[in-house]
Amino acid sequence: MISERVRGNLRSSFAASLLPKVGLALLVAMLFLSVFAPVLATHDPTRTGSFDENGQPYPPAGVEYTTEVATGGEITEVTVEPTSEHRLGTNDVGQDVYSRFLYGARISLIVGLLGTGLAVLIGVPFGLVSGYYGGRVDAAMMRIADVMLAFPALVLALALIGVFGESPVEVPDPIVMAGVAEGMPEAVPIPGTVTVVVALVTWVWFARVARGEALSLRNQEYVKAAKSFGASDGTILRRHVLPNSLTPIIVLATIQIAVIILLEASLAYLGFSGTTLSWGYEIERGQDLLRTRPWISVLPGIGIMLAVIGMNLLGDWLRDALDPNIDGSNRGI
């Protein structure tokens, strides 16, 4: 559906620009960490109780901290040292921070990709039909979209989760089932309700973009020719309007993945994710310990930041590379 000329422009633009390479490297790294999390993780991310002899969580390698503990009815100050078994330390319940970071990457990317895919499946057909038919059909369908836009995304997501409840879906982990990573969770708890909810919250943006493309394409000569040959509206939408609308939809989808990752992290931070293996959940768990044990929240925060930056860099490059109104010498810079 994407012409060879467009693919050639993308290749040349990518080769001449640094930022999309950085974005792609970040995305590939996150995908690698999430896919092979059971192999790369050093501990079961759900296992608790990894503390030092004083019952304190371990700090990362190279870090020490002092805290007060009650021993024999007296308060004494102790120094907590790192351990080689937990290179990035443990959290307040003794779970390995590094392993939970890897599994958090898996959850965030799964929700981002699946949520964006569902939003595309809902919004693009809706917008194409609205723009293609125009008139009262377009007015009625766009009023539905306007109602969705009237609610803040996070507030609407919370309301929908309140209606449908939290429904995590346990998906068997093929790597663990194959016996490659023993001792790791046998299933991945994907937050099913959150995935559907973020799609219901963001589909309207794809609908508006698809509508705009359909409005500009429905009067093109090749569409009129297809009508004169007796092609049905469904055939015209599928074979002519949709393929020529893909460019802005692909750009928007790339950026929306980052938006959904942030939205999922926000919901997990508020306790509505349906799974504890989430970057947002880890940030919430360590927020009261930032002064004494900042590593609990800092590492997942860095993960969210890098994932969003990577997706945004790719999205900006695609937008600049595919926009015919931007001079070719400035694309992707």
pLDDT digits (tens, 9 = 90+) for 46-95: 899 888 888 889 899 888 888 888 777 788 888 888 998 999 999 988 99
Within a domain: 71: no
Query: Is 62 strand, coil or helix?
Result: coil
Q: Is 46 exposed, middle or buried (0-12, 13-18, 19+ CB in 10 A)?
A: middle
Residue 127, pLDDT score: 94
Phi (first) and psi of residue 306, to 5 degrees = -65, -40
Q: What is the pLDDT of residues 117-173, one digit of tens each?
A: 999 999 999 999 999 998 899 899 999 998 888 888 888 888 888 888 877 888 898
Confidence of residue 324 (pLDDT cuts 50, 70, 90): low
Q: Which helix (H) or strand (E) holds 71?
A: strand 65-71
Within a domain: 154: yes
Residue 6, pLDDT score: 67
Alpha-carbon distance of 119 to 113, in angstroms, equals: 10
Within a domain: 251: yes
How many domains, in total, are found in the chain?
1
- CATH classification at residue 264: 1.10.3720.10
Within a domain: 296: yes
**Which pTM value belongs to this model?**
0.87
Q: Shortest CA distance to 144 belongs to which of 155, 154, 158, 129? A: 129
Within a domain: 196: yes
Within a domain: 286: yes
Residue 260, pLDDT score: 92
Q: Shortest CA distance to 78 belongs to which of 100, 42, 52, 99? A: 52
Within a domain: 171: yes
Please give the sequence-ordered ranges of beta strands (E in DSSP) within 133-206, or none if there are none.
Answer: 168-172, 187-191
Taking 50 as the threshold, does the pLDDT of residue 333 lie above it? no
The number of C-alpha atoms within 13 Å of 60 and in the hemisphere containing its C-beta is 12
- Kindly report the average pLDDT of the chain as a whole number: 86
- Residue 209's domain comprises 4-50+85-330
Q: Which residue bears the tokens 């973020």?
A: 198
Residue 331, pLDDT score: 42
Report residue 247 as tokens: 């460019």
**Between 185 and 3, where is the model more confident?**
185
Within a domain: 190: yes
Q: Are 32 and 39 in contact (CB under 8 A)?
A: no
